[in-house]
Structure 1
Amino acid sequence: MAQYEMSPKGTHSTSYEAPYGDLPVQMNTEGRAYSHAGKPYKGPLRLRGYRHIFDPYSVFKLGKPHFYRKPGYAYEKLAKHRHLDWFEREWVGDYDDRYISPYDGKISKLVVQAVDNVYDGPANSTWRRTFVRNIAPLYMRLANWPLNHVDYARNGGPTSEDWPMICVKWFFAAIAITFVVGTPTEAEGQVRNEGKYDGVPYKYHGYPKVARNALEMANSRGYRNEANPVAERLLRPRYLCFLRETGTPAMIMNVEEWITQYRAEKNLSYVFVAYTGEQFRTTEDFRALHQMADAAARNAGVLAYWVGCSCMPEPENMQEDVYRICDVIRGAHSVAIAVARPANDMHGISTTDEMLQQWGSRIWTFPEVLLAPAGQMVKVYTRGSDLFSPIEVAKNQFAAKVWKEDAHVARQLVDHYEGNLILNQLELVTLALECLHHRETTQYLKGDHSYALMGLLRIRPKIDPTDSAFQAFARLSLANDSDQLLERLICVMPRSPSQPWHSMDDAFNCKLWDILPQETSIAGIGEDDTIILDGCRAANIRWKSFAPVAYAKLLSWKRWAAQKLIHLGGVTMLIAIILVSMPETYYTHGTKAAGGILLVYSLVLMGMSPWLLRIIYQGKFWKTQGWFFGFEGYMDIDTIECQIWGGRLGRLKWSPYGSPLSRHHRNEYGDCIADDPCSDPATAALVEKAKTAGPGEQRVFTIVDAGTMTVTMFVAERPPVCFLFAGSEGGMQRVIGCSYDWTSQTMYRETVLRFQTPVVDEVFRIPRVKVGFKRPQYPVGDFNAVGEAKGNLSH
């Protein structure tokens, strides 16, 4: 963990490892570096760059990047896996970290550039790492070199202490520029994809488990085959317990037979008796339960009652009936609750209120109250008490009296079913799912929470015992008009890595209805807790290195003149040298003087060359080539600019609210000013901690968006290899950063960031994509013991 100390000015600072060398460095609240003596490092942090090739752990390869460091961990070789790419080329090999190359569509090994203190640190990744390279042309680096030690952020410009060093460096830079300014390397990159971001050549070749359209199912036999079959509603219970004379147990009878025999369909009414198996288990308990139910029916003046332990006697229909109890409740005259002290009481439950609270903590009891007839009191019968004087509880008091842990949320649902405060479909599903997951259950099927929720909605899919909890919920969402709930849910940024899929707790503090899906829709549900998302735009993230960025800007007279002067400097000096070296004759009279003048002129141009180059390449960009550059770790803005453009030009800015780590403040003019994330000591400590993270733990990554000239730092378990533009919120795009599991063709959500809306117009669409909420952790071992992953491509 980072250590918090006091900087010389009294501001909080966080210690962190120096970029190179043994001297510790501190980061103050402005994200600036300090030396061991408390004096500021001037200018950007200096990276080792190509000096890393002499490190004993740097490995050479023919493909770019030529130098990399092997990972410390490797995935266990449990099986050979197969991948079919965009062009239907088949790759078979061991499990490893790969991405889809935007150049040829193949899956390539993931190589991530990392800052020095990560690259030189522990080998704790499963992907290859390479060092950060400065890709700016040499003459641009030379032009900015004289001023790269000046701390503009601290002093606003050069001070009297800086000028002696500036003059010395300027002299050598001017000489060096003369020899390299004519090299063919350009400071501007090439325009790619008409200025748009690199696309993702992805195609999903598999089948969904459940599709919206029946024709897309693997076992499709035509239009009659249902993709997501819907269960029929029960118009009345199959069985009821009909009252007989007082003191005689009720008669359990098939309802249809009772109607046929007594021809009394109009008079058929019953009480629904709710109880929990925690309080009624034994034969004696059920005998007492029937006595309480009998009294409840007689008190209500009805002919029968329904109780779960006796009114579902048909084993072949048991499963369907359990999940259609909601229909029985809706058709009931009233609802009565039977409570008792549990036999294995470990909490000293003795009062009716405590018994009722235990009853209310169970998942299946929650909808029993919500669906009880509106406007009626719910009667509570306590075992051993006077059965003809039950306690009456109004539905709108259950939240405060029984459901205390989530009373505020539960009360909204009660008001909805009472007709006092109507929720829309999205709010209803969101709040109900939150309440149900707060409750306990003895699991019968993995999708029990969703099946309990199913009773509250209009359309209910048929029960599938093979469903996982997520698949059951997803099928329920597809069947109902849930306002694109799943499309919104995938755009939620979890607050913690362990947050379950059903939690809607967003790290950006937004509600689910704040997120608007953008042209995306769910086409199907995958076999492995995934969704098939259609309509996405996707952009590739370049992790292996930075690249020259093409741009467009105005050609001013000042910039035009500087360009001509610097290009004439070398020619002028050459002419001057020729003229000065010519022998003095009648025909060459005055040439030496002219040569001397031109020589002086060329020397002046040479001395001005760093300044002229900065004039040529400075200035604001009107448009830039779309790129997403990524690296592992943290660098300040000045250092990032130096690696891409050769110096600090004030072009890049931190994203003020693109990530939960983003920071900003309001200046004296009311402007929103983005801050360095490491100005927050907690974020700086997170950066420090992430250096030693192992597989499955959170690490720090940074994205440079060349299209909007912003930088965003975030945390994730793995580096996302692409961005999926799936929704919008608060005037910005919700972008899902995904890693790629090539063994199942699944994009797994690693993070969610917020980008400026114009970016979406510069991103290509992709076909349907299989998206997962959380990537399972594949078994890993020591790299030296497991060995390099191998595979081969067949065309």
Structure 2
Amino acid sequence: MEVKGNRHLFDPYTSWKWGFPNAYRKPGFGYQKLAKHRHRDVFEREWVGDYDDRYISSWDGKISKLVVQAIDEIYDNDITSTYRRTFIRTIAPVYLRLANWPFNHVDPNNNDGKPTSEDMPMLCLKWFITSIAITFVISSPSSASIPPRNGGCYDPVPYRYYGYPKVTRNAMELDSPRGCRDANPVAERVLRPRYLCFLREPGEPALIMNVEEWITQYKSERNLAYVFIAYTAEQFQSSEDLMALHQMADAAARNAGVMAYWVGCSCMPDSDQLQEDVYRICDVIRGAQSLVIAVGQPPNDRQDISTTDLMLQQWGKRIWTFPEVLLAPAGKEIKVYQRGGDLMQPLRVPKNQFAAKVWKEDAHTARQLIDHYEGSLILTQLELVTLALECLQKRDTNEYLRGDHSYALMGLLRTRPKIDPTDTAFQAFARLSMANGSDQLLERLICVLPRTPNQPWHSLDDAFGSKLWEILPEGVEISGIGQDDSVILDGCRAANVRWKSFTPVANTRRPSWKRYIAEKLLRLGGVTFLIGIVLVAIPNPAGPGQGLSPTQGAGVFLIIYSLFLMFLSPWLLRMLYLGKFWDQQCWLFGFEGYMPIETIEAQIFGGRLGRLRWTPYASPLSRHHRNEHNECVPDDPTTDREIKALVERCKHAGPGEQRLFTLVDTGNMTVTLFQATRPPTCFLMAGSEGGMKRIVGCSYDWTTATMYRETVLRMETKFEDKMSRIGRVKVGFRREQHPVAPLIHVGEAAGMRVE
């Protein structure tokens, strides 16, 4: 792929600025100026301005405008971004590019990369031109080595979060006075129901009575057994329906030989405690003698739900009915009473067969949960929460609070936080996870790469195909929950991504006699040529016409010698500066679009040198194959036709759509192709899986100091220590798209630093 490079300087749409990169292209879209925002950086400097795309600079810690280098096709033809773009610049030294120029027409995939007879004429012509050019460019070459930056480590992320969390593990970190508020208050369990329906004489309706009053009045609690009546309001709504429900409940209690039953429509009468009662039903189920399900044909039935099986399946689709079955007494059959059916002969369903009969859509997953509560298959805490969350999210509910799905899950766990009506669905789940430990569920959830861009936070479907328990957080911890749907993560390693350009890579190579001799010959070449000219210019003491004096003869020899060195200069330069690195400066370079790896190498190192390789399994777009030696060989992702088509589609992606980016990691000397909605300005190392580290690529919303997950990649472990630790960082799972409009209508964002 040919790169235009500095020829873009003459494009009519290229703009200019003082800072590097001086030449750039303005975005096609700008964010609507809805408000002024404030940011406080790690050095406590303040910035106030309009919403725009920025990143934290590793150089000075300031938030700077995001400029992304892009391939020529995107830079020339696409203006659908909200951030500035610049063209890709070649940063390799000129003499290295000259040394590799004679070979750039040789096909590396043909003849083991060696020149063929057809390549030789062009190679010789280029070699001659290069030999002359190198003489003028570098007569006495200095070392191409540069000092390492950050001690050879990746660029750090100078970030600090100053805000308060909504919920934290330690109450001292809250904004309330000390001792006035718990960090994450926990609700107490109830030992028995507050109300029960007590049986009376046959034919008489049951007596609804407070349990404590009943115990006080009858001085007995030994025989306080009851059945739990489970039903759905979709099937029992009117007063007539509820009367029929009580008749079935009465019969069920008598058939079970108990004196009472519990049914939600009558046993939660106190409006001031109704909310707490709803979320404590799980304790009532645990104390029941048995579970009874009452079903009936729903009013205004449009789906022809006329059989017991269909009624049961409708009942099983409700969110609150799911934990009722799981928590039913182990080893006992579940009895199903149908309205209008024989109350003396209910349908009996073994609990371990309930999933196959009723929960057909997720029977395999739900059966594992039933087996866990039956004691035949014990799940870990993490497996229990993961599988239960997956099942509950598939069920319907008439939302009372936004956290209802998490509150239903809460009944399955030991520790239950108190209900907070202000919680979002995510906050309710996060508080539940923190209260129960849950084997660092949230820390693992951050490392999940969604299969689709719109995948909700509660979906655990990983694009790499890993289960949540296969991801291991290492040295990271959730210290709190943000005011929005975010968490405060502490202890992870972090590295900034350089998007605006490539830069020379400091490296270490082992010394050798070949390099030593090549270096001395090249350094002496220009001096030798000048000395030769001086010696030839000295007049012969014997007079004109007497031939060459010994001095002139030595000068001629030195000139011929220097010309010979001139002819060998491309080969000597390649010998001196090419080859593999033993160690190198760790950089994360990024650009938008795709380029062949040979082109990437030419931009950074001056030619196709075989130093970089594609990652075999770092991204869902990575590809590899097995060679004849049973080795894993990474492939160019575009060898896959689907990915090649994806590369073309992403060239025209607009705001809020998935784009294609390339990450060059000089630490591991690898190149990774990946998708993201926005370019991730930094990567957080938050866990490991399958012998590799999971690094979370985040964009930075400077208006709320939040790092939003854009992608997740897998990275080799050996350069883990090259990333520095970062303090508490606020991490969000999904960044909302700020309203945009064409830049000509809204204008560029403006701001100023506050002293």
| Distance 1:186-1:74 versus aligned 2 partners, 3 A rule | farther
Deviation at 1:184, TM superposition (A): 7.8
Query: Does residue 205 in structure 1 map to residue 162 in structure 2?
Result: yes
Equivalent residue number for residue 548 of structure 1? 504
Equivalent residue number for residue 170 of structure 1? 127
Deviation at 1:220, TM superposition (A): 3.8
Deviation at 1:481, TM superposition (A): 2.3
CA distance in 2, matches of 1:48, 1:710: 24
Identify the match of residue 88 of structure 1 among 44, 63, 78.
44
Query: Does residue 632 in structure 1 map to residue 592 in structure 2?
Result: yes
Q: What per-residue deviation string (whole Å, max 9, x for no partner) do you get for residues 150-209 of structure 1? A: 111234221111111111111111111111125887533330111100100000000000
The amino acid across from 1:232 in the alignment is E
Equivalent residue number for residue 665 of structure 2? 705
SS of the counterpart of 2:109?
Answer: helix
Identify the match of residue 574 of structure 2 among 603, 614, 628.
614
CA distance in 2, matches of 1:154, 1:477: 57
CA distance in 1, matches of 2:448, 2:338: 44
SS of the counterpart of 1:267?
Answer: coil
The amino acid across from 1:596 in the alignment is V
Query: Does residue 265 in structure 1 map to residue 221 in structure 2?
Result: yes
Deviation at 1:458, TM superposition (A): 0.2
The amino acid across from 1:483 in the alignment is D
Cα contact 2:168–2:174 (8 A) shared by 1: yes
Cα contact 1:330–1:372 (8 A) shared by 2: yes
Identify the match of residue 567 of structure 1 among 518, 523, 539.
523
Equivalent residue number for residue 437 of structure 1? 393
Q: What per-residue deviation string (whole Å, max 9, x for no partner) do you get for residues 608-661 of structure 1? A: 101100000112211110100000000111100100111111100001111000
Higher alpha-carbon deviation: 739-748 or 146-155: 146-155
Deviation at 1:218, TM superposition (A): 1.2
CA distance in 1, matches of 2:720, 2:313: 50
TM-score of the superposed pair, with normalisation by structure 2:
0.98
**Structure 1 portions without partners, runs of 5+:** 1-44
SS of the counterpart of 2:409?
Answer: helix
| Distance 1:641-1:185 versus aligned 2 partners, 3 A rule | farther
The amino acid across from 1:613 in the alignment is L
Identify the match of residue 376 of structure 2 among 411, 414, 420.
420
Equivalent residue number for residue 42 of structure 1? none
Query: Does residue 57 in structure 1 map to residue 17 in structure 2?
Result: no
**Structure 2 portions without partners, runs of 5+:** none
Deviation at 1:347, TM superposition (A): 1.2
Q: What per-residue deviation string (whole Å, max 9, x for no partner) do you get for residues 647-693 of structure 1? A: 11110000111100000011000111110011111011111000110
Equivalent residue number for residue 657 of structure 1? 617
Query: Does residue 148 in structure 1 map to residue 104 in structure 2?
Result: yes
Equivalent residue number for residue 786 of structure 1? 746
Cα contact 1:545–1:629 (8 A) shared by 2: yes
Q: What per-residue deviation string (whole Å, max 9, x for no partner) do you get for residues 506-560 of structure 1? A: 1111000110001000000001100000001100000000000001110110111
| Distance 1:288-1:500 versus aligned 2 partners, 3 A rule | same
Deviation at 1:231, TM superposition (A): 0.3
The amino acid across from 2:494 in the alignment is A
CA distance in 1, matches of 2:87, 2:646: 21
Cα contact 2:140–2:525 (8 A) shared by 1: no
The amino acid across from 1:158 in the alignment is P
The amino acid across from 1:663 in the alignment is R
Identify the match of residue 688 of structure 2 among 715, 728, 736.
728
Q: What per-residue deviation string (whole Å, max 9, x for no partner) do you get for residues 315-349 of structure 1? A: 01000000000000000011100000111222111
SS of the counterpart of 2:714?
Answer: strand
Identify the match of residue 340 of structure 1 among 296, 299, 308.
296
Identify the match of residue 316 of structure 2 among 351, 356, 360.
360
Identify the match of residue 756 of structure 1 among 703, 709, 716.
716
CA distance in 2, matches of 1:154, 1:98: 45
CA distance in 1, matches of 2:536, 2:466: 75
Equivalent residue number for residue 504 of structure 1? 460
Cα contact 1:188–1:548 (8 A) shared by 2: no
Q: What per-residue deviation string (whole Å, max 9, x for no partner) do you get for residues 26-57 of structure 1? A: xxxxxxxxxxxxxxxxxxx1100000011111
Cα contact 2:42–2:160 (8 A) shared by 1: yes
Higher alpha-carbon deviation: 587-596 or 252-261: 587-596
Deviation at 1:219, TM superposition (A): 1.1
RMSD across aligned positions (CA): 1.1
SS of the counterpart of 1:152?
Answer: coil
Deviation at 1:64, TM superposition (A): 0.1
Higher alpha-carbon deviation: 679-688 or 587-596: 587-596
CA distance in 1, matches of 2:281, 2:93: 73
Equivalent residue number for residue 392 of structure 1? 348
The 5-angstrom pairing of residues 375-524 of structure 1 reads 375-524=331-480
Query: Does residue 195 in structure 1 map to residue 155 in structure 2?
Result: no
Deviation at 1:459, TM superposition (A): 0.2
SS of the counterpart of 2:222?
Answer: helix
CA distance in 1, matches of 2:631, 2:223: 72
The amino acid across from 2:460 in the alignment is M
CA distance in 2, matches of 1:441, 1:522: 30
SS of the counterpart of 1:754?
Answer: strand
Higher alpha-carbon deviation: 177-186 or 319-328: 177-186
Equivalent residue number for residue 287 of structure 1? 243
The amino acid across from 1:686 in the alignment is L
Q: Sequence identity of aligned pairs in percent? A: 69
Query: Does residue 592 in structure 1 map to residue 552 in structure 2?
Result: yes
Q: What per-residue deviation string (whole Å, max 9, x for no partner) do you get for residues 95-136 of structure 1? A: 000000000000000000001111112201001000000001
Equivalent residue number for residue 232 of structure 1? 188
The 5-angstrom pairing of residues 206-225 of structure 1 reads 206-222=163-179, 225=181
Equivalent residue number for residue 605 of structure 1? 565
Identify the match of residue 527 of structure 1 among 477, 483, 496.
483
Identify the match of residue 159 of structure 1 among 104, 116, 121.
116
CA distance in 2, matches of 1:253, 1:690: 66
Identify the match of residue 746 of structure 1 among 706, 710, 733.
706
Where in structure 1 do 4 or more consecutive aligned residues deviate above 6 Å?
A: none
CA distance in 2, matches of 1:218, 1:718: 34
Equivalent residue number for residue 24 of structure 1? none
Identify the match of residue 765 of structure 1 among 709, 725, 728.
725
TM-score of the superposed pair, with normalisation by structure 1:
0.93
The 5-angstrom pairing of residues 659-698 of structure 1 reads 659-698=619-658
Q: What per-residue deviation string (whole Å, max 9, x for no partner) do you get for residues 454-502 of structure 1? A: 0000000000000000000000000002000000000001101011101
Cα contact 1:97–1:126 (8 A) shared by 2: yes
Cα contact 1:241–1:304 (8 A) shared by 2: yes
CA distance in 1, matches of 2:719, 2:267: 60
Q: What per-residue deviation string (whole Å, max 9, x for no partner) do you get for residues 256-310 of structure 1? A: 0000001121111111000001101111110110111111111111110000000
